[in-house]
Amino acid sequence: MILRPPTAAGTFYEIDANMLRKQLDFYFRNAVTRSRKITTKARLVPHSPYTHSGQVAAHSFVNLDKSNFVIVGSNHSSYGATFALMKNSLWKTPIGEALVDDNFANKLLKESSFIEFDAIPHEDEFSIEVQLPFLLHKFGDVKILPLLVSNQVADDTLMESCRMVGSSIAKLIKKEGNWSLIGSSDLSRTIGEEETERTDKLLLKHITKLDVKGFFTALNKMDANVCGYGAIATTIFAAKGLGARKAKVLKYGTSANMEIDRGVTGYASVKFY
């Protein structure tokens, strides 16, 4: 078994267990809890340092029911399979460990020819790892299935691949039960807050309509810098396969107060239901 260390601890979130739990408690206390029960099919969550996007992310996690989680992350590296699945591994964090469910992983590999077993891009990638402390703090223990999606070109070829993979994920979740879906991506990064908010408003218009084609068209038209559009597309297609017909932005924010000199990134927590 591969022991996957918490490579983002100390940079993206607190490395000390007590400090990390205090950090998460703060975000959960300040997140909006649901007023009525709605069966949510999937969630989209950001993955920047907690000081930047942790409060936005908490709005997705605070209302989660316990289950196992397929986490579709964004591959920020230039290597690895387009759809890279890691199995036979234990993901460590300062507050606990998440075991990859190999039975589910092997079934998904058989279900979709697009998905490959490829652990290498997972070694230093943070987009999935930063979701785990939220889950472990809330539930104590979870099983996961980590899948990274590489951005190629936002065209019909990638869109069709994401559709096929998303459909396979949905089919297996419905068959197996007790699994939920989390997609991991930030939104646009531009030179200023106003431009980021303006760009994200248009992107979220298509995301909340579950309109991947419109989302890709908007990306290309605006030449938007979005790190995980493949992960977003896969999540939307999987959500639709699970029966989602609507989506709602639970919380939106930017990094404007944290990194003005290096550009501004947008973040959103979105639920698909």
Least confident window among 129-138, 221-230, 250-259: 250-259
pLDDT at 91: 98
At 230-254, the pLDDT tens digits run 999 999 999 999 999 999 999 999 9
By CB atoms closer than 10 A (0-12, 13-18, 19+), residue 119 is middle
Centroid of chain to Cα 31: 18
Query: Predicted confidence band at 35 (pLDDT cuts at 50, 70, 90)?
Result: low
Length of the chain: 273
Min mean pLDDT across 70-74, 151-155, 164-168 is at: 151-155
Q: How far is CA 97 from CA 4, 26, 85, 129, 141, in A?
A: 10, 21, 18, 11, 7
Q: For position 10, what pLDDT does the model report?
A: 97
User: Tokens at residue 168, please?
Assistant: 């396979």
Residues 202/218, Cβ–Cβ less than 8 Å: yes
pLDDT at 152: 83
* C-beta of residue 119 within 8 angstroms of C-beta of residue 2: yes
> What would the pLDDT profile of 201-223 be if each residue is shown by its tens digit?
999 999 999 999 999 999 999 99
User: What proportions of the chain, in percent to the nearest 5, are helix, strand and coil?
Assistant: 40, 25, 35
| String of DSSP letters for 17-78 | HHHHHHHHHHHHHTSPPPSS-----EEEE--S-HHHHHHHHHHHHTTPPS-EEEEEEEE-SS
Neighbours of 19 (CB within 10 A): 12
Average pLDDT over residues 22-43: 87
* Distance, CA of 263 to chain centre: 22
Q: Report the amino acid identity of residue 103.
A: N
| Alpha-carbon separation of residue 151 from 72, 85, 196 (angstroms) | 13, 15, 20
Q: DSSP of 105-141, one letter per residue? A: HHHHHHH-TTEEE--GGGSS--TTGGGHHHHHHHHS-
Each residue of 54-87: pLDDT tens digit? 999 999 999 999 999 999 999 999 899 999 999 9
- Secondary structure letter of residue 226 according to DSSP: B
What six digits make up the tokens of 127?
Answer: 């987009």
Write the Ramachandran bin of 81: left for phi over 0, alpha for psi from -120 to 50, otherwise beta.
Answer: beta
Where b means 16+ CB within 10 Å and e means fewer, 207-218 reads bbebebeebbeb
Task: For residues 200 and 187, give the distance between their C-alpha atoms in angstroms, rounded to a whole number.
Answer: 6
